[in-house]
Amino acid sequence: MGVDRWFLIASTLLAAVAGVRGVLALRHGNKSHWTVWWMIGVFLCQMGYLAVRGEMRGACPLRSIAEISVYLAWSLTLFYLLVGPVYRISLLGVFTAPVVVIFQGLALLPGKLDPSPERIINTTVWGETHSAMSVLAYGALALAAVAGVMFLVLDRQLKEQHLKGGLFRNLPPVRELLVSLERLLWLGMVLLTVGIVAGILMPHETDGGWKHVFVAAGVWGGYVALMVVKRVRGITGRKFALGAVALFVFSLGVFAFV
Amino acid sequence: MELVCLGLNHKTAPVEVRERFAVGNTKLGEASQNLLEMAGVPEGVVISTCNRTEFYLAAESAPAALGKLEHCLAEKVHGHEEPFYRYEKADAARHLCKVVSGLDSMLLGETEIFGQVKQAYHAAHAAGTTGPVLNRLFQKVFSVGKKVRTQTSIQEGSTSIGNVAVELAEKIFGHLKDSEVMVLGAGEMSRLTAQALVSRGAKSVIVTNRTHDRAVELAAEMNGRAVRFDDWLGVLKDVDVVISSTGAPHTIIHKEEVESVRRARKYRPLFLIDIAVPRDIDHRVGEIEEVYLYDIDALEQLAGQAKSRRLQQIIECEKIIEAELGKLVT
């Protein structure tokens, strides 16, 4: 087994520990102060994986579903580490860790991560920019979806007046979650815009390449529509959060099937 | 040296007795000096809050010191039942630990008492009335108080309707400095709830009442503004929290009215607190997505749950106190 896989396994295990310890702390009515440290460990292992895998590929490792999945998990972790402390979004790590485990777990399924990946020879600046920026964008959009799920959980608790337990006590306020969600969507959209522009400018040898860009543009259009409605007309927090989650889940199809 | 405590509180003395023993914050040092003279002891601290006055002494002979002190204080309790409780040695230290931890407070687990005791101790220390016994005791007691609060959930949750409302408002809006509050009906309950929100930084308060003069009066009290009762719907689009307690026999806020301002509000979250009986707000208003509606029963239930959670924590708190007192004795 290659070093890249070991890094990935270590990273996935650390994310699982972060999630499980976070949930256990919540069941005892507290929040774990160690989540961010576990997630830093996750991030360092992901960096190790990317360095080894990048060396093997000779380019940004984004050529298979498994590699894209791991890169997405890395991007999600990166944004969590950048955004979590700045916005002080309590429990974001507890909600992020399982998503990281799922993405990386998919890559670790037998036969998904090629142990001897083909070395990439013909790379272009636009092609690399498109891949890297698009997946970075999806990292931000994934974190927005995570914030959306947190909002939906809190909204349900407040509406149904089920206010007991560590989860309710430790979730950030509704308004802060919605503000963070909106900022993350803006960030994701800016990065996605750069990714799509680079996708248009990169050389396309097959129709499949264009199809990919068109679908990505469609996803981008969906996010633009959501943000315009939010800004101009206004939208309930629940619909906004559901929109962010639904669009992200839909956008995963761009990578999986197109 | 023996440690002694003589005190009276909300459980042992009515307010007309407690007020005779009350000492203002600025007079605490002076009161501690008087205590030394009255009891003829080398060390003494006077603690005084709205619910208690307690005298802590370090004396060569506990019975003698207590006798002198009670003799001096007898005149103040003339005509009333014996209001004092007395603790000696470890019992006095245990009692002070409970006081500092909020276990002996009227509002179980309240945190204000910690600061009040600290203030009393600092005043006595500054007045030169503390010595090795009381210094060691109070330092230990403060660390016990901190431990109790951090290692148990004795202070968690709100136990009054006003505080539950504040806690929920903060869960919805975070810092209340950007939140506007509208009060419908200028009754006592809405005043107390609005005051609780203002004390936590609510940006502004708008008061409306059928009797406009009463609305103006309450608005002035809270540095807010009053609007005519017929105009409350026009204000609804700007506010984040509505406290309703009108005493009207029929519904005041209907679903259709709230729905009519949703677009103007851009579907922002709206927290409605209905503390009126009969209820002022149609329960169907709570079906609107961005509206969080809580009536008096819901708020009382939440306060009750917090109270019972705190009661369950008493045993845990006492275990910590006993363990720490053990260390103090050794």
For residue A107, what are the contacts with CB-CB under 8 A and spacing of at least 6? A8, A65, A66, A67, A69, A70, A113
Query: Residue range B135-141: average pLDDT?
Result: 95
Residue A175: list chain B partners with CB under 8 A. Answer: 172-174, 269
Q: B107 in a domain, yes or no?
A: yes
| Residue of chain A whose alpha carbon sits nearest to that of B309 | A164
Judgement on whether residues B180 and B284 belong to the same structural domain of the protein: yes
CATH number at residue B206: 3.40.50.720
Closest Cα in chain B, distance from residue A241 (Å)? 12
Q: B251 in a domain, yes or no?
A: yes
Q: What is the ipTM of this complex?
A: 0.84
Exposed / middle / buried, residue B170 (Cβ in 10 Å: 0-12, 13-18, 19+): middle
Of the residues A167, A168, A174, the best mutation for testing chain B's interface (the one with the most B CB atoms within 10 Å of its CB) is A174
- Over 80: is that where the pLDDT of A240 sits? yes
Taking phi over 0 as left and psi of -120 to 50 as alpha, with beta for the rest, A154 belongs to alpha
Of the residues B156, B168, B172, the best mutation for testing chain A's interface (the one with the most A CB atoms within 10 Å of its CB) is B172
Query: Do the Cβ atoms of B171 and A175 come within 8 Å?
Result: no
Judgement on whether residues B8 and B143 belong to the same structural domain of the protein: yes
Q: B38 in a domain, yes or no?
A: yes
Closest Cα in chain B, distance from residue A235 (Å)? 5
Query: What are the phi and psi torsion angles at A61 (to 5°)?
Result: -75, 85
Q: What DSSP string runs through A128-185? A: HHHHHHHHHHHHHHHHHHHHHHHHHHHHHHHHHT---SHHHHHSPPHHHHHHHHHHHH
Mean pLDDT of chain A: 88
Point out the domain boundary residue: B151, B169, B193: B151
Judgement on whether residues B55 and B169 belong to the same structural domain of the protein: no
Which of A154, A161, A236 minimises the CB distance to B267? A236
Write out the residues of chain A at the interface with chain B, using a CB-CB cutoff of 8 A: 29, 154, 158-159, 161, 163-164, 168-169, 171-176, 233-239
B283 vs A: CB within 8 A: no
Q: Which residue has the higher pLDDT, A213 or A155?
A: A155
pLDDT at B104: 92
Point out the domain boundary residue: B131, B151, B171: B151
Closest Cα in chain A, distance from residue B149 (Å)? 13
Query: Do the Cβ atoms of B267 and A159 come within 8 Å?
Result: no
| Whether the Cβ atoms of residue B233 and residue B257 lie closer than 8 Å to each other | yes
Judgement on whether residues B41 and B144 belong to the same structural domain of the protein: yes
Question: What span, in angstroms and rounded, lies between the C-alpha atoms of A66 and A18?
Answer: 22
Neighbours of B188 (CB within 10 A): 8
**Range(s) of the domain holding residue B89:** 2-151
Q: Which residue has the higher pLDDT, A15 or A207?
A: A15
Q: B208 in a domain, yes or no?
A: yes
Query: Residue range A231-244: average pLDDT?
Result: 96
Q: Which of A175, A192, A179, A184 is nearest to A82 (CA)?
A: A184
Residue B168: list chain A partners with CB under 8 A. Answer: 158, 163
pLDDT band at residue A207 using 50, 70 and 90 as cut-offs: low
- What's the pLDDT tens digit per position in A138-150? 889 999 999 999 9
H helix runs in chain A, sequence order: 3-27, 35-57, 65-87, 92-108, 125-160, 166-170, 174-201, 207-228, 237-257
Neighbours of B326 (CB within 10 A): 10
Examine residue A61 and say whether the peptide bond preceding it is cis (omega within 30 degrees of 0): no
B150 vs A: CB within 8 A: no
Judgement on whether residues B254 and B294 belong to the same structural domain of the protein: yes
- Over 60: is that where the pLDDT of B330 sits? no
Closest Cα in chain A, distance from residue B302 (Å)? 8
Residue B174: list chain A partners with CB under 8 A. Answer: 172-173, 175-176
Query: Do the Cβ atoms of A174 and B302 come within 8 Å?
Result: no
- What's the pLDDT tens digit per position in B97-128? 999 999 998 888 888 899 999 999 999 999 99
Query: Residue range B146-162: average pLDDT?
Result: 84
Which of A154, A173, A233 minimises the CB distance to B170? A173
B153 vs A: CB within 8 A: yes
Query: Do the Cβ atoms of B289 and A238 come within 8 Å?
Result: yes
Q: B309 in a domain, yes or no?
A: no
Point out the domain boundary residue: B84, B119, B151: B151
Judgement on whether residues B82 and B208 belong to the same structural domain of the protein: no
- Over 90: is that where the pLDDT of A122 sits? no
Closest Cα in chain B, distance from residue A159 (Å)? 6
Judgement on whether residues B64 and B178 belong to the same structural domain of the protein: no
pLDDT band at residue B321 using 50, 70 and 90 as cut-offs: very high
- So which residues of B are the catalytic ones? 50
pLDDT band at residue B230 using 50, 70 and 90 as cut-offs: very high
Exposed / middle / buried, residue A256 (Cβ in 10 Å: 0-12, 13-18, 19+): exposed
pLDDT at A256: 64
Q: B239 in a domain, yes or no?
A: yes
CATH number at residue B131: 3.30.460.30
Judgement on whether residues B176 and B234 belong to the same structural domain of the protein: yes
Residue A235: list chain B partners with CB under 8 A. Answer: 266-267
Judgement on whether residues B216 and B77 belong to the same structural domain of the protein: no
Query: Do the Cβ atoms of B292 and A238 come within 8 Å?
Result: no
B290 vs A: CB within 8 A: yes
- Over 80: is that where the pLDDT of A257 sits? no
Number of domains in chain B: 2
Q: B329 in a domain, yes or no?
A: no
pLDDT at A206: 65
Judgement on whether residues B135 and B216 belong to the same structural domain of the protein: no
Give the predicted TM-score (pTM) of the model: 0.77
Taking phi over 0 as left and psi of -120 to 50 as alpha, with beta for the rest, A234 belongs to left
Judgement on whether residues B126 and B251 belong to the same structural domain of the protein: no
- Over 90: is that where the pLDDT of B35 sits? yes
Exposed / middle / buried, residue B193 (Cβ in 10 Å: 0-12, 13-18, 19+): buried
- What's the pLDDT tens digit per position in A42-95? 999 999 999 999 888 887 787 788 898 998 899 899 999 988 776 667 788 889
Sheet holding B291-295, edge to edge: B225-228, B204-209, B180-184, B241-244, B270-274, B291-295
Query: Residue range A223-235: average pLDDT?
Result: 95
Query: Do the Cβ atoms of A236 and B168 come within 8 Å?
Result: no
Q: Which of A202-206, B52-56, B95-99, B312-316 has the lowest mean pLDDT?
A: A202-206
Closest Cα in chain A, distance from residue B257 (Å)? 17
| Whether the Cβ atoms of residue A70 and residue A117 lie closer than 8 Å to each other | no
B63 Cα distance to chain centroid: 35
> How many CB contacts within 8 angstroms connect chain A with chain B?
53
Q: B258 in a domain, yes or no?
A: yes
Judgement on whether residues B78 and B32 belong to the same structural domain of the protein: yes
